[in-house]
A = this chain, B = another copy of it.
């Protein structure tokens, strides 16, 4: 393996000069810099990140801790984080709980991040007090993405506003009999996003003097299959049927769409459905939804940490991430019945 002294020798300078030239520091004449760059390139030299870490204290890597990867939100956010990090020359180290929730003990234990990262992004996780303490003991900059933990900064949409906008839109169309497909309880990891959305839904209904019927609140577990089953039960129940379903996430909304189809209900004539996310499938499925961009949230969070590592002032209250109503074919006025 070719090291820094090989370059130094070949370029006829000291290792210190090579180091300076390669990192673009000042105090190197243009001539020597060019020479160093050229010989480094021709020798195929690349510095060892471990040696650099040891000498400088910086790992040039960032960690992401998440409950699981294979979920639209997480995978998209990861993509955004990766994009931001790569642009800054940082590496991305991924720690997934794999949805298990069982290897949950000592998540933030020192062993999980063996002095390998400069900062940590935590995605959508509800933390126990012990875990919170562990995280803070880790002492490097951190931020929560897509979730909320007391005492830590979050980068996310305004979940309450997003849910409110969805419910308000249904109400503006004339709906009064609105059901709610709730998320949560599915990741093996609770987090409060579903609670915030549900509360906002309830508040919005109350503000309009509309009832929130217990039998129209169902748990869809944030997934297609769960949403389909829950929506099916809603629609099959005796008595009045809702004219609209607000799903706390698109995947559950897809399930609702399918459940309606299977029962011969027309969307939106008989039933309107609105979700949150703007999942890739929402457009082809014609789902009206509240768009959010997990990738941009991830990138924003990564850049925030990157900024702090470069000495920028700490941002105690990150910018709320935007959301937006996207109207498609799954919503319309309620049936006139």
Q: Which A residues form the contact surface with B (CB < 8 A)?
A: 1, 44, 46-51, 53-54, 59, 61, 68-72, 74-76, 78-79, 82-83, 86, 91-96, 98-99, 103, 110-111, 114-116, 137, 223-225, 228, 254-255, 258, 261, 280-281, 283-285, 295
Contact = CB atoms under 8 A, between A and B. Distances in A.
Contacts of A68: 79
Contacts of A255: 284
A29 to B, nearest CB: 24
B70 A82 contact: no
A99 B69 CA distance: 17
Nearest to A137: B44
Nearest to A254: B281
Given A69-B78, A79-B69, A50 B46 contact: no
Given A82-B94, A93-B91, A114 B48 contact: yes
A94 B96 contact: no
The 7 closest A-B CB pairs, nearest first, are A50-B50, A46-B110, A50-B53, A70-B75, A75-B75, A225-B284, A49-B114
Nearest to A44: B110
Which of A69, A98, A261, A295 is packed against the most chain B CB atoms within 10 Å? A69
B79 A70 contact: yes
Nearest to A55: B50
A280 B224 contact: yes
A75 B203 CA distance: 36
Contact of A50 (B59, B82, B98): B59
A103 B87 CA distance: 10
A114 to B, nearest CB: 4
Contact of A69 (B75, B93, B223, B284): B75
Nearest to A45: B110
A116 B53 CA distance: 11
A92 B93 CA distance: 6
7 contacts: A47-B115, A50-B116, A70-B72, A78-B96, A86-B95, A225-B283, A258-B285
A44 B61 CA distance: 22
Contact of A54 (B54, B86, B111, B254): B54
A46 B93 contact: no
A47 B94 contact: no
Contacts of A59: 50
A5 to B, nearest CB: 15
A212 B71 CA distance: 37
Contacts of A99: 79
Nearest to A1: B115
Contacts of A285: 224, 258
A262 to B, nearest CB: 9
Contacts of A53: 48, 50
Contacts of A223: 280
B46 A111 contact: yes
Contact of A79 (B96, B110, B225): B96
